[in-house]
Amino acid sequence: MERETFFCEILLPLPLPGTFTYKIPCEWNHKLQFGVRVVVPFGRSKLYSGLVIRVHQTPPRQLVVKYIVDIIDEYPVISEQQFQLWEWMSQYYLCHLGEVMAAALPSALKLAGETKVMLNPAFDGDITSLTEKEVKVAEILSYRTAMLIAEVAKAIDIQKIIPIIKSLVEKEIVLADEEIKDPYKPKTESWLTLNRLYADDEQALYTLIDQLNNNKRTEKQADTLLQFLMIAKKACSDNKEAASYKVKKSDLMKAGKISDSRIKRLVDKQILVPEQQIISRLAAYTSEHNASEITLSSPQQKAMDQIEKQLEAKNCVLLHGVTGSGKTEIYIKLINKALEDGKQVLYLLPEIALTTQIVNRLRYYFGDKAGVYHSRFNEYERVEIWNRVLNPDLFDRHANKYQLILGARSALLLPYHNLGLIIVDEEHDSSYKQTDPAPRYHARDCAVMLAQIHQAKIVMGTATPSLETYYNVERGKYGLATLTQRYAACQMPEIWVVNIVESLKQKAMDEYLSQFLIDHIAAALARKEQVILFQNRRGYSLRLFCHSCHEMPTCIHCDVTLTYHKSSNLLKCHYCGYAIAMPRECPVCHSHDIEMKGFGTEKVEQKLSELFPQAVIARMDLDSTRSKTAYQNLIQDFETHKTDILAGTQMVTKGLDFDRVSVVGILNADNLLSYPDFRAFERAYQVMAQVSGRAGRKEVPGKVIIQTYRPEHEVLQYVVAHDFLAMYRHQIREREQLHYPPFRCLIRL
Ligand code: ADP
Ligand code: ZN
Ligand code: ZN
């Protein structure tokens, strides 16, 4: 018997350089391959799951080489191409490979001795499918709220604990790490079934109906029951199933306009039996629609031809199309072609634009081929998508294949193996850059690399390209396709600039709103149209100002002025979150002569409700959208015209498509122009052009009103003229003179 010694290089999700060498116990000599996870001891007594990167026979230099403790996977959990991207990222963004791995892998795939685990509160206690060891683990966890995996191992004296935990996590009996903070609750639906007594005995059922019917007090209940039977029968014949008396409660309520309390009477009498049914988190969407149903307009068709022609020679094309020009329809056509070729497609969006709006639009054509991946998803959803992207064939039984992934920047890190096309929508958006923690990557740039690794094509789209991207177009590195008109002869909005200095002189300012803007809002509301107001500061008032010593309270950590938040009555630091209670007197000189200066979104909201008491006003900023659903709800209410005016920060500018917005106001353009950043002008242009783009997207022509102290500012002139190219030429010259990107690279140390 041969007794060769094999070693392997293991990548651990730790901020340490390189990989670590371990010895392979000889019984596993030919069992390990790239990408499978193994358990290894690390440091004094810690256990980690690491990825096998390479198996070799070169003895390492150090004297003591530890053995691999266990093998977790039979098949690789990452793809070769994915790993190539990780390597590039770690080199380009100067971080450790382990940090990229830590960012990429959902925590359920990173189990380690230090991982916290707990019993899933939703676990029903059914242990019939568990192995003996799994039962032991489940048992020990049932006594405690949460434990480290290492503690579990100690408590029950099992060495090879991680594979057991892995299996329990897969069975959704145990929760690992991140979900503990956000415990997973299964999604359920209420169903009603007919009591077996009646379901199995038609005679009894008819007698019951007669009884109910013959009594004035229970007549309604007979109606309800008949409705129930009708829906149940219909569902069964539709699905060609044998009769079963089972109906979704909401269907019954909707179909028969039946109230909850009426159903409850039948439940109380035990005629209907309620039942909670767990539904898949990854709901299935079937779609009978096809991308071939879309007829591109002739400018769209031209742009599409331009893209395809240029992609023959180039890997990347920029689709520069004004807001509302129908870029999405072009993406859909391109995606469709790639999918027909059997390729995977990645559609990247800024996190905030990842709303039901775009998801629904794509699902309309691609149904359950489209999967969504973003950081707000729970661990199980992420692992499920991960696995389906990695190995669609393992999921043959399921309908969802996820050939198309829609995601925010982290979707770049999924285990693709066969990408044909990457779309980077809203290419200019600064949220593509991850600032903290490492890897501090730019998703757009990584996408270019990822496409190269897969020999895939990449299409970037926006109404306001970043200077970097447009520079690449000018250099001939990227191709260019343009759409200069809105879809269906919709007009570009008219842009008006209001001079705040002049308005103040003429007493035509009501606090922060010019009379001109107020009049236009009033007119829009009178026509039952909607309004968006943009103010890039959140909070109620910018700062507290003391009239006697002229001091303003600042953050003790960051030295920036604190912002007043009315709803919490706190002064908060917008950099680090430091907060103090609202002082009654100046903290420095104790004068009571203090005043609020400046204004934020909260203040705007309040002023608006004074001016337009009959209008429904909503505020959208970081503070009002902290909860998972708040953002979606705000958007939905605005979409369905439950709200008339939406006042908010940057968030209101992002790629949303509303039909009835006729007035967009930018309350203070100078804030944007005075940002301490070399990209300030570029960003100011982008933000103003994007927020303007929300105006007048369908029948309703739009007006944009920009208030400023400096109407002569060149960036404003470019915005008014819808002249991206002029802005670009002006800015790119400056960047070159001052040695800024894209001519030089900047690095912060
Ligand atoms: P953009 O993404 O360029 O801002 P959208 O893709 O949102 O623009 O298109 C603007 C509107 O025009 C959308 O409501 C879209 O449904 C509609 N639209 C665009 N192209 C077509 C088309 N070929 N057929 C039907 N509707 C279209
Ligand atoms: Zn003072
Ligand atoms: Zn601070």
Q: pLDDT tier at 480 (50, 70, 90 boundaries)?
A: very high
241 burial type by CB count under 10 A (0-12 exposed, 13-18 middle, 19+ buried): exposed
Residue-wise pLDDT tens digits, 292-351: 888 899 999 999 999 999 999 999 999 999 888 899 999 999 999 999 998 999 999 987
Q: Ligand 2: distance of its center to the CA of 592 in Å?
A: 8
Alpha carbon 408 to chain centroid distance?
6
Q: What spacing in Å lies between the alpha carbon of 324 and ligand 1's midpoint? A: 6
For residues 739 and 177, which has the higher predicted lDDT (pLDDT)?
739
Q: What is the pLDDT of residue 453?
A: 95
For the sheet with 70-71, list strands across it: 20-24, 6-11, 46-56, 37-42, 70-71
Does the beta carbon of 156 lie inside 6 Å of ligand 1?
no
Q: Is the peptide bond before 437 cis (omega within 30 degrees of 0)?
A: yes
pLDDT-based confidence at residue 284 (cuts at 50, 70, 90):
low
pLDDT at 560 over 70: no
Closest ligand by atom to 349 CA: 1
485 C-alpha to ligand 1 centroid (Å)? 11
Nearest ligand to the C-alpha of residue 546? 2
Q: Which amino acid is at 342?
A: G
Pocket residue to mutate for ligand 1, from 319, 657, 686, most atoms within 8 A of Cβ: 657
pLDDT of residue 416: 93
Query: d(Cα 575, Cα 557) in Å, to the nearest integer?
Result: 9
**Could you give the CA distance from residue 465 to residue 462 in angstroms, rounded to a whole number?**
6
Check pLDDT > 60 for residue 183.
Answer: no
Q: Is the predicted pLDDT of residue 565 greater than 90, yes or no?
A: no
3-state SS, residue 639: helix
Token pair 């039984």 is at which residue? 397
Mean pLDDT of 183-206: 77
Q: What DSSP designation does 491 have?
A: P
Contact partners, residue 203, CB within 8 Å, separation at least 6: none
Backbone angles phi, psi at 300, to 5 degrees: -65, -45
Tell me the average pLDDT across 500-515.
85
Q: How far is the CA of 328 from the centre of ligand 1 (A)?
A: 6
pLDDT at 622 over 70: no
552 pLDDT exceeds 70?
A: no
Q: Higher pLDDT residue, 519 or 569?
A: 519
In this prediction, residue 291 carries a pLDDT of 83
Q: What is the largest CA-CA distance in the chain?
A: 98
- Band of residue 704 on the pLDDT scale cut at 50, 70, 90: very high
541 C-alpha to center of ligand 2: Å? 18
Decide whether any atom of ligand 1 lies within 6 Å of the 650 Cβ. Answer: no
Nearest atom of ligand 1 to the alpha carbon of 327: 3
User: What's the pLDDT band for 472 if we cut at 50, 70, 90?
Assistant: very high
Gap from CA of 438 to ligand 3 centroid (Å): 21
Question: 649: Cβ–Cβ under 8 A, 6 or more apart, which residues?
Answer: 534, 535, 536, 537, 538, 601, 620, 621, 622
Instruction: Report yes or no: 115 and 180 within 8 Å, Cβ to Cβ.
Output: no
Helices assigned H by DSSP within 105-218: 132-143, 149-156, 162-170, 178-181, 196-199, 202-213
CA dist., res. 632 & res. 625, Å (int)? 9
Phi/psi of residue 599, nearest 5 degrees: -155, 155
Counting from 1 in the atom list of ligand 1, the atom nearest the Cα of 488 is: 12
Indicate whether residue 178 lines ligand 1 (CB < 6 A).
no
Within 13 Å, how many C-alpha atoms sit on residue 53's CB side? 19
Mean pLDDT of 258-276: 85
Report the pLDDT value the prediction gives residue 181, as an integer from 0 to 100.
46
Q: How far apart are CA 62 and CA 45, in angstroms?
A: 19
- Per the CB < 8 A criterion, the answer to whether 48 and 162 are in contact is no
CA-closest candidate to residue 725, choices 449, 320, 421, 451? 320
Task: Tell me the ligand closest to 697's alpha carbon.
Answer: 1
Range ranked top by mean pLDDT from 196-200, 523-527, 692-696: 523-527
Which of 666, 706, 352, 430 is CA-nearest to residue 535? 666
Task: Indicate the pTM of the whole model.
Answer: 0.74
Q: What is the pLDDT of residue 361?
A: 85
Amino acid at 313: A
**Helix, strand, coil fractions of the chain, as percent rounded to 5:** 40, 20, 40
514 band by pLDDT with thresholds 50, 70 and 90: very high
C-alpha span between 467 and 89 (Å, rounded): 22
Q: Over the chain, what is the mean pLDDT?
A: 83
CB 696 within 8 A of CB 490: yes
Residue of minimum CA distance from atom 13 in ligand 1: 326
The string of DSSP letters for 220-234 reads HHHHHHHHHHHHHHH
Give the amino acid at 606.
Answer: Q
User: What gap in Å lies between CA 19 and CA 41, rounded to an integer?
Assistant: 14
What per-residue string of b and e applies to 633-658 under the rule 16 or more CB within 10 Å gives b?
ebbeebbeeebbbbbbbbbbbbbbbb
Q: Give me the mean pLDDT over the 637-664 stretch.
A: 81
Q: Residue 579 pLDDT > 90, yes or no?
A: no
Looking at residue 504, its pLDDT comes to 82
Q: Which ligand is in closest contact with the Cα of 558?
A: 3
Please tell me the number of the ligand nearest to residue 654's CA: 1
Q: What does the alpha-carbon distance between residue 233 and residue 241 come to, in Å, rounded to a whole number?
A: 10
**Percent of the chain residues past pLDDT 70, beyond the cut:** 87
CA distance 570 to 553: 12
Q: Is the pLDDT of residue 519 over 50?
A: yes
Atom number of ligand 1 nearest to Cα 657: 7
> Residues 106-165: pLDDT tens digits?
877 777 777 788 888 777 777 777 888 888 888 888 777 778 887 888 877 777 788 888
> Which residues are CB-contacts of 489 (< 8 A; sequence separation ≥ 6)?
none
Would you say the C-alpha torsion 545, 549, 550, 554 has a positive or negative sign?
negative
Predicted local confidence at residue 122, as pLDDT: 75
Q: Which helix (H) or strand (E) holds 692?
A: helix 680-692
Task: Please state the rounded mean pLDDT for residues 218-223.
Answer: 87
In the predicted model, is pLDDT for residue 241 greater than 90? Answer: no
CB 402 within 8 A of CB 53: no
Q: Whose CA is nearest to atom 9 of ligand 1?
A: 326
Candidates 289, 464, 487: which one to mutate for ligand 1, based on the most atoms within 8 Å of Cβ?
487
What spacing in Å lies between the alpha carbon of 596 and ligand 2's midpoint? 13
State whether the Cα torsion 238-239-241-244 is positive or negative: negative
> Count of residues for the chain?
749
Alpha carbons within 13 angstroms on the beta-carbon side of residue 73 total: 19
Residue 222's alpha-carbon distances to 30, 231, 270, 536, in angstroms, are 69, 14, 14, 59
Confidence of residue 397 (pLDDT cuts 50, 70, 90): very low
CA-CA-CA-CA dihedral for 81, 83, 87, 92, to nearest 10: 60
pLDDT tens for 53-63 read 999 988 888 77
Highest mean pLDDT among 548-552, 635-639, 640-644: 640-644
490: pLDDT strictly greater than 80? no
Q: Which whole number is the average pLDDT over 597-606?
A: 72
What are the structure tokens assigned to 339, written together? 């999918």
* 3-class DSSP assignment, residue 541: strand
pLDDT value at 37 more than 70: yes
Tokens of 654: 């992002």
pLDDT over threshold 80, residue 25: yes
**What does the pLDDT read at residue 551?**
67
- The 3-state secondary structure of 87-105 reads HHHHHHCCCCHHHHHHHHC
CA distance 163 to 157: 15
User: What is the pLDDT at residue 430?
Assistant: 86
**pLDDT at position 324, please?**
85
Q: For 458, which DSSP code?
A: E
Please indicate whether residue 605, judged by its CB atom, sits closer than 6 Å to ligand 1: no
Gyration radius from the chain CA atoms: 30
The better pLDDT of the pair 227, 536 is held by 227
Strand (E) or helix (H) holding 422:
strand 419-425
Beta-sheet strand order (sheet of 570-572): 563-565, 570-572, 579-581
Task: Look at residue 244 and tell me whether its pLDDT is greater than 60.
Answer: yes
Q: In ligand 1, which atom is closest to the CA atom of 322?
A: 3
Q: Lowest mean pLDDT: which of 257-266, 383-392, 541-550?
A: 541-550
Closest Cα to atom 14, ligand 1: which residue?
657
Whether residue 300 has its Cβ less than 6 Å from ligand 1: yes
Ligand 1 pocket test, pick from 304, 319, 328, 698 with the greatest ligand atom count within 8 Å of Cβ, gives 328
SS (H, E, C) 249-275: HHHHHHHHCCCHHHHHHHHHCCCEEEE
Mean pLDDT across the stretch 232-242?
Answer: 69
3-state secondary structure of 727: helix
Residue 186 near residue 192 (C-beta atoms within 8 A): no
Q: Which ligand is nearest to the CA of 293?
A: 1
| Contact predicate 49/110, CB 8 Å | yes
| Residue 199 beta carbon below 6 angstroms from any ligand 1 atom | no
pLDDT digits (tens, 9 = 90+) for 724-737: 999 999 989 888 88
pLDDT for res 93? 92
Most trustworthy range by pLDDT among 160-174, 175-189, 231-245, 649-663: 160-174
- From the number of C-beta atoms within 10 Å of its C-beta (0-12, 13-18, 19+), residue 64 rates as exposed
Mean pLDDT, residues 388-395 taken together: 70
| Most confident region among 368-377, 543-552, 634-643 by mean pLDDT | 634-643
